[in-house]
Amino acid sequence: MFKKASICVLSILLVLSSYSLYQPVNRQSIANASSGNEDQRYFMYGAGDTQDMNLYQGLVDQAISYGMNSFRVWFSWSSFQNADGTFDWTLMDAQLDYINNKNMPFALSLYFAMGPDGGLPEAERVRDASGGLTPYLSINSASAMDKMVEAYEEVISRYTARYPTNKPIFVSALFGMYGENEISGGGNGLMGDYSAASKQAFRAWLLDRYDNVSNLNTHWGTQYASFAQVEPPTDFNGNRGLTWYQFRHFSLKSAIDRLADANHAIGGTKFPLVMGSMFDDPASKRGTLDFVDLAEKADIVFVDDGPEYNHAFSMDLLRTNLPGKELAHEFDGPDLANDATYYHQASTAFEHGAKYVTNGNWNKNLQKFIDRGQLFEDIVDDYLGDPVTDIDNPSQSMSVSDYDMLLNRSSAAYQRYYDALYLNSPQPMNVHLIRDINRLDWHKTNNDDPGLSPQGNWTEQRVDGPFQGDDLATDQAGASVEFTFNGDRIEWIGSQGPDHGKADVYIDGVLEASGVDLYAGQKQYQQVLFSKTNLTDGEHTIEIVATGQKNVLSSHAFVNLDALSYRFTEFPAPPKIYRLSSQFSDTQGENGWFYRYHDGNGYANMTWNAGRWQGPNPYLFIESTTHMMPDGYDVVPVWQAPESGTIRIKGNVKKDDMAGASCPGCADGIQVKIMKNGAQIWPATGWQQLADDDLIGVWHDFTVNVAQNDLIYFVMNQKANNYWDGSSWDPSISYAAPVYRLSAQYSNVQGQDGWRYQYDNGNGPVDMTWVNNRWQGPASVDYSFVESSAHLMAETYDLLTNWEAPFDGTVRIAGTAKMDDDGGSGCYGCGDGIRVKIMKNGTQIWPSSGWQSIQAVDLVGVDHDIDVQVQQGDRIYFVVNQNANFYFDGASWDPTIEYK
């Protein structure tokens, strides 16, 4: 009820093209054909919620004439319980007797959110984030819960006894503001409860989870002196926001479980979990992303998605993850969609496994119900004569992550992937839910985490199936990726497919799994490819190495990294993430964000008006969803760097509106760019163009160094006109701990990523020359070079591979210097080895003095791992000396430099 949903054009068109072809048959015989059968489908009319008995009886009679075979009767709490706590059953008895006398099955939906007659006391009601009082029941109020459960039990007891041969099919207890089992709220749109009861419950839950406030401060990056100071956040950003979501889920499940237990203790009817949308931004706000946990004690699971949502995706997601549960689907009121759209919704629900389909909000106007009779008759004709669809072993499947949904606040990418599979085979499929959100002691890190160290040729892929919409892939034998974590369990998440190969997995340098085979006949994203449990508490390193080998059935040898999940034993500190949507504020500069426009002379602040930032022209604005629009002037969200460092700027800019068939050729799209202070940083030059119909958009993902108070401008320009220019841009900015590794950043350009390739001619450093795909020393010698693999050789002149610090800080310099050539069987040990050292500018920093010798036959080498303070512009030199001669001096030195 009152849905906000996205559009799935494909799945609608697949059904609408044939809607008018169905011919009506004998509806009453169909409706009664399998009465009492466990596989019976129910097309329920949503009746009640009205005091007008004449209207009610007219609606019931009309529904029966259409062949609908059951009723879902609504009653608000105030209609049957008085302010003094006594019960008045007059209306319920009359309306239910009317249906029972017609021998029609029925169910009850009880709307508890607004309280009994006279409402609820203030202490039992939800407050919004600004402290505003709402009329809605707080599930964190013990006394409010007691009252609701008592009233619920009274209704079940009365009507299972009153109608012993026609007991209610189910009795729902709907405490959410929109008539579902969800979090209520108001004001800020978050649907969160900020009442005193909720805050008290949140603090008690935090104490139980964190044990002490020090652990909480570490995890949240806060400085609370006690749990009593903690205030609930107003977003889901970072560790703090995730914790808030987890508490909301805990509260919601506690309320649902208590009602289910009350229902089952009395018996005679079923308990339904009712949700208002399925895996979209409202579901994040409503707290229902991990619906599997919420539905643990439910007998039936309802979803009432908006008319144009992807109902095939929605129902497949429910059915796949709730085996043994009965499924139900509701379509909304007469003014929200036409007959073809509602027929598609009902038919899709039945075809994908629903036992119950019901309508909602059709109970106020008999004439509209009569006018739309063909819709109801056609659903009866085409679906009530068949049993519940038996869907056994679908040929296609995919996976979705609830944590990914929470982070992105949209399932559009998953739905695009679903549609691509559905177009290939328009049949129900399995949509597996990866339940990350409520793994309280687990941390899931994406493949772009700055702590990952990839070696070799890895390619980033942006596709619709993986966690966070991207992954890394390689087919290079020996390419590897390392990640160090503190915990006792680790999982490697990635894809399987018909072109995938094999990989070895090491934990702390020990081979744990050899030849992990990633082949599968169908592409499958977000699979657990490897897991290791029972590690000792503490720091561990996982390394994944592509072998270049493959299954005989595979067409290639690709190895994939999507994400890593590990169970932590110490609370990790929060990442520094600044995201426009989650930190949107009515205050300029809060969380570093400013809301501006460019007036032709410079940047000016917008004005807060009616819940959004508004410029001087009517369509120049920025909204909390990051929907924005240029109008005459450029619209420009701006972020200010709180400290110096390297930042990663990642995001997607896309059109939200398009002219389409309504005005072909009218709109010309938009163009965008990103500036740092006065310099453009993306794209390299000019503007990034977006066509009028580009609803998928363009990604940006790059790093840049910033000084404290630098400004990053996200500039959107209307081009020639601003027709249908409504767009979204939700950039995410995080501070990275940049990692510089010679082999990974090797380049044919001196100075790129800070690396220079030099030798010492006796008077100081001299740049090498790029020859035959490697850096080459002076022409007078043959064996002075540095290659992309970090294989190198110093003949006569010392090699001075070096790196320039981009900013101040402490860096960790780690690596191994080793021989690659020991002379072999023909001349084993003939050489005299090499000598190495590390310098910062003109000062030696490793070893403490003299040279570190590497013996001629030392193919293992010598490790170094040191920390050193650097200032911007300092140079770190990795010096290699031939010793007395350069015979068999081929060596490797691949240092890694990481800011701490």
* Per-residue confidence (pLDDT) for residue 26, from 0 to 100: 46
pLDDT tier at 190, thresholds 50, 70, 90: low
In a domain, 29, yes or no: no
For the stretch 461-503, pLDDT in tens is 888 899 988 899 999 999 999 999 999 999 999 999 999 999 9
Report the number of distinct structural domains present in the chain.
Answer: 4
* Per-residue confidence (pLDDT) for residue 576, from 0 to 100: 67
* Per-residue confidence (pLDDT) for residue 460, from 0 to 100: 84
Answer whether residue 261 shows pLDDT above 70: yes
* Per-residue confidence (pLDDT) for residue 36, from 0 to 100: 54
Q: Could you tell me whether strands 670-676 and 326-331 are parallel, antiparallel, or unpaired per DSSP bridges?
A: unpaired
CATH of the domain at 260: 3.20.20.80
| Whether residue 716 is found in the same domain as residue 751 | no
Q: How many C-beta neighbours within 10 Å does residue 643 have?
A: 11
Answer whether residue 16 shows pLDDT above 60: no
| Whether residue 750 is found in the same domain as residue 729 | no
* Per-residue confidence (pLDDT) for residue 494, from 0 to 100: 96
pLDDT tier at 661, thresholds 50, 70, 90: low
Q: 10-14, 536-540, 616-620 — which is least confidently predicted? A: 10-14
Mean pLDDT of 755-778: 96
Mean pLDDT of 60-76: 96
| Whether residue 725 is found in the same domain as residue 662 | yes
Out of 735, 769, 794, a domain closes at 735
Tokens of 641: 């760097």
Q: Which domain holds residue 454?
A: 442-567
In a domain, 154, yes or no: yes
| Whether residue 759 is found in the same domain as residue 730 | no
For the stretch 520-578, pLDDT in tens is 999 999 999 999 999 998 999 999 999 999 999 999 999 999 999 999 988 887 666 78
pLDDT tier at 22, thresholds 50, 70, 90: very low
CATH of the domain at 638: 2.60.120
Mean pLDDT of 375-390: 95
pLDDT tier at 17, thresholds 50, 70, 90: very low
In a domain, 429, yes or no: no
| Residue that the structure tokens 């601003």 belong to | 722
Asked if residues 259 and 159 have their Cβ atoms less than 8 Å apart, the reply is no
For the stretch 322-355, pLDDT in tens is 999 999 999 999 999 999 999 999 999 999 999 9
Which of 345, 447, 370, 431 minimizes the C-alpha distance to 396? 431
| Whether residue 382 is found in the same domain as residue 476 | no
In a domain, 551, yes or no: yes
| Whether residue 686 is found in the same domain as residue 811 | no
* Per-residue confidence (pLDDT) for residue 11, from 0 to 100: 39
pLDDT tier at 737, thresholds 50, 70, 90: low
Mean pLDDT of 751-763: 94
Answer whether residue 10 shows pLDDT above 60: no
Answer whether residue 235 shows pLDDT above 80: no
* Per-residue confidence (pLDDT) for residue 20, from 0 to 100: 33
In a domain, 618, yes or no: yes
Which letter, b or e, does each residue of 442-469 get, where b requires 16 or more Cβ atoms within 10 Å of its Cβ? Answer: bbbbbbbebebbbbbebeebeebbbbbb
* Per-residue confidence (pLDDT) for residue 406, from 0 to 100: 87
* Per-residue confidence (pLDDT) for residue 575, from 0 to 100: 63
* Per-residue confidence (pLDDT) for residue 891, from 0 to 100: 95
| Whether residue 474 is found in the same domain as residue 353 | no
Cα–Cα dist 628/568, whole Å:
39
Query: Regarding predicted confidence, which is higher, 739 or 447?
Result: 447
CATH of the domain at 508: 2.60.120.260
Out of 542, 567, 592, a domain closes at 567
| Whether residue 470 is found in the same domain as residue 555 | yes
In a domain, 385, yes or no: yes
| Whether residue 330 is found in the same domain as residue 392 | yes
| Whether residue 648 is found in the same domain as residue 793 | no
Helix axes 196-210, 238-266, angle to 10 degrees: 110
Mean pLDDT of 186-214: 87
State the average pLDDT for the chain: 90
* Per-residue confidence (pLDDT) for residue 199, from 0 to 100: 97
In a domain, 634, yes or no: yes
Q: How many C-beta neighbours within 10 Å does residue 266 have?
A: 16
* Per-residue confidence (pLDDT) for residue 869, from 0 to 100: 93
Tokens of 567: 């169970």
C-alpha 890 chain-centroid distance: 48
Edge-to-edge, what's the strand order for the sheet holding 442-446?
A: 442-446, 563-567, 489-496, 524-532
Report the predicted TM-score, pTM, of the whole model to 2 decimal places: 0.75
Residue by residue, DSSP assigns 758-816 as: EEE-SSSEEE-EEETTEEE--TT-SS-EE-TTSEEE-SSSEEEEEEE-SSSEEEEEEEE
Answer whether residue 665 shows pLDDT above 50: yes
| Whether residue 381 is found in the same domain as residue 479 | no
AA identity, residue 880? V
For the stretch 860-893, pLDDT in tens is 999 999 999 999 999 999 999 999 999 999 999 9
Asked if residues 202 and 232 have their Cβ atoms less than 8 Å apart, the reply is yes
Mean pLDDT of 125-131: 90
In the chain, count H helices and then E strands.
Answer: 18, 57
Which of 299, 251, 308, 250 minimizes the C-alpha distance to 274? 299
Tokens of 708: 């404290």
| Whether residue 523 is found in the same domain as residue 643 | no
Out of 735, 764, 799, a domain closes at 735
In a domain, 7, yes or no: no
C-alpha 710 chain-centroid distance: 29
